[in-house]
Amino acid sequence: MVGIGPKRPRSRKGSFADVPQNLLAEIKHFEDIFTVGAAKLKQVSDHFVKELEKGLSVEGGNIPMNVTWVMGYPDGDEKGTFLALDMGGTNMRVCEIILGEEKGSFDIIQSKYRMPEELKTGTAEELWEYIADCLKQFIEYHHENQELSKLPLGFTFSYPATQDYIDHGILQRWTKGFDIDGVEGQDVVPPLEAVLKKRGLPIKIAALINDTTGTLIASNYTDPEMKIGCIFGTGVNAAYMENVGSVPKIAHMGLPPDMPVAINCEYGAFDNEHIVLPLTKYDHIIDRDSPRPGQQAFEKMTAGLYLGEIFRLALLDLLECQPGLIFKGQDTSKLEKPYILDASVLACIEEDPYENLLETRDVIEKSLGIQPTQAELEMIRRLAELIGTRAARLSACGVAAICKKKNIQSCHVGADGSVFTKYPHFKARGAQALREILDWAPDEKDKVSIMAAEDGSGVGAALIAALTLKRFKAGNLAGIRDMGSMKTLV
């Protein structure tokens, strides 16, 4: 985009000189409700630690802390060709991954498909058939007339799933705006395998994985300092490696207490009880009007799916409660449409380099059909900054909580997802919040650093499928269901 006017300095606080007093008072109000100070971050993180513990207990809590049956990190001997199917919140991806001879090396080919919006609220059959069609297209292109029954598939299903075995998964509840009847409470592996079979694709799912677990494993494959895998995208979540002995809810299985097992926290569900999170009335509205009210409280304040909606609700509130204060004489009907703004609009506003906020004006005009005044642009910029900063700072609480729980003093955290990779200043704001929560001295370098991850949903899925087959071969059968299929695959 071409703009005129001088570029603004990166960390300019905002020029409110020409903003009228009554609008300034509203900006101040937004600052009050969206700012999360260090004390609150610490309080949230401390409560978070307790909730992580609770999720591992037999009684359970808000955070599911799902046992993944990924029993340790890769050692670099993982080799072979694998398929990976990645069903995230926004896209579908089919990949073929070749794990190479050299430790940490891999090759990948992939095709990406945008998931049609209507699929998210359609029927289960439509979902499975869509996935099978994507896979079939990929196979026909890359493996026509080849024997497929020995090609293991890692299925990255990035929703909370209960796994008694790695090759099955019962969907606990849909997240990220999905609302497809008849899937919650069901094992998702058999219906997908059945549709694949119907399509003439005799492919076996060797492992069902979560994107965070994949991120953890793929990142650790190339950097052993990586101890946590995180997604900051359409949804939010993290996975880390636990010892079996610290997971009371699987004590009955009698596994060696020092055996490692990856836990998919599903911490988007943190504080569903609303005990500690600094919720605003906009967060309450998002929750109330979502397909699953009362669920994913932490995710609804921090994930990409919701950032634009929080922003829209705040603007709409101003428009309705202070008639004539903003957007005077403009057609504001588009602002009434839920989810009309996505996080990329906020990202664009926060990225606007121009003193006169020309790009902000453009993006607001394009998305809402409104031409804001200069004072309104300043307010819009500040509001985006406040919502983006709150999300980044709260996101750090989850990472800090895992570090505190595991007594990790220093490590790398592999992170992926559209908010992490694309939202301006997210990394720096998160790093600053970690520093405040974990009390590092001002002259100390970051001890826990959140960095770009390897592709967890592709390479991670392949590695986990490889680890599972390796474990099967070695006779470590914990959490493996379909022995017949595993035998065909090894």
Is residue 215 part of the contact set for ligand BGC (CB under 6 A)? Answer: no
Q: CB-wise, 45 or 163, nearer to ligand BGC?
A: 163
**What is the spatial distance between Cα 257 and Cα 413, in angstroms, rounded to a whole number?**
25
Yes or no: say if 326 and 368 are a contact pair by the CB < 8 Å rule: no
Q: CB-wise, 84 or 318, nearer to ligand BGC?
A: 84
**What is the spatial distance between Cα 84 and Cα 96, in angstroms, rounded to a whole number?**
6
**What is the spatial distance between Cα 19 and Cα 23, in angstroms, rounded to a whole number?**
7
Q: Which of 69, 159, 298, 311 binds ligand BGC (CB under 6 A)?
A: 159
Is residue 426 part of the contact set for ligand BGC (CB under 6 A)? Answer: no
Q: Which stretch binds ligand BGC (CB under 6 A): 230-238, 251-259, 278-286, 475-483?
A: 230-238
CB of 181 to ligand BGC, least distance (A): 18
Is residue 300 part of the contact set for ligand BGC (CB under 6 A)? Answer: no
- Identify the helix (H) or strand (E) that includes residue 344: helix 343-351
Q: CB-wise, 266 or 385, nearer to ligand BGC?
A: 266
CB of 290 to ligand BGC, least distance (A): 12
**CB crowding 430-443: b at 16 or more within 10 Å, else e:** bebbbbbbbeeeee
Q: Which of 163, 220, 237, 360 binds ligand BGC (CB under 6 A)?
A: 237
DSSP notation for 63-110? S--EE----S---S---EEEEEEEE-SSEEEEEEEEE-SSTT-EEEEE
Q: Which of 45, 62, 156, 175 binds ligand BGC (CB under 6 A)?
A: 175
Q: Which of 268, 414, 458, 479 binds ligand BGC (CB under 6 A)?
A: 268
Residue 485 CB neighbours (<10 A):
18
Cβ neighbours of residue 480 closer than 8 Å, sequence gap 6 or more: 69, 165, 166, 167, 468, 471, 472, 486
Q: CB-wise, 68 or 210, nearer to ligand BGC?
A: 210
Q: Which stretch binds ligand BGC (CB under 6 A): 98-106, 231-239, 357-365, 394-402?
A: 231-239
> What does the per-residue mask of binding to ligand BGC show for 101-140, with x meaning CB under 6 A?
----------------------------------------
State yes or no: is 485 an active-site residue: no
Cβ neighbours of residue 411 closer than 8 Å, sequence gap 6 or more: 225, 226, 227, 228, 403, 447, 448
Residues 26-65 that bind ligand BGC (CB under 6 A): none
Q: CB-wise, 68 or 367, nearer to ligand BGC?
A: 68
Q: Is 335 helix (H, G, I), strand (E, B) or coil?
A: helix
**CB crowding 113-146: b at 16 or more within 10 Å, else e:** eebeeebbebeeeebbbbbbebbbebbeeeeeee
Is residue 299 part of the contact set for ligand BGC (CB under 6 A)? Answer: yes
Yes or no: say if 426 and 232 are a contact pair by the CB < 8 Å rule: yes
CB of 138 to ligand BGC, least distance (A): 22
Q: CB-wise, 233 or 414, nearer to ligand BGC?
A: 233
State yes or no: is 173 an active-site residue: yes
Yes or no: say if 85 and 94 are a contact pair by the CB < 8 Å rule: yes
Catalytic residue among 45, 86, 167, 173: 173
Q: List the catalytic residues.
A: 158, 173, 211
For ligand BGC, the binding residues (CB under 6 A) are 88-89, 158-160, 175-176, 210-212, 231, 233, 235-237, 266, 268, 299
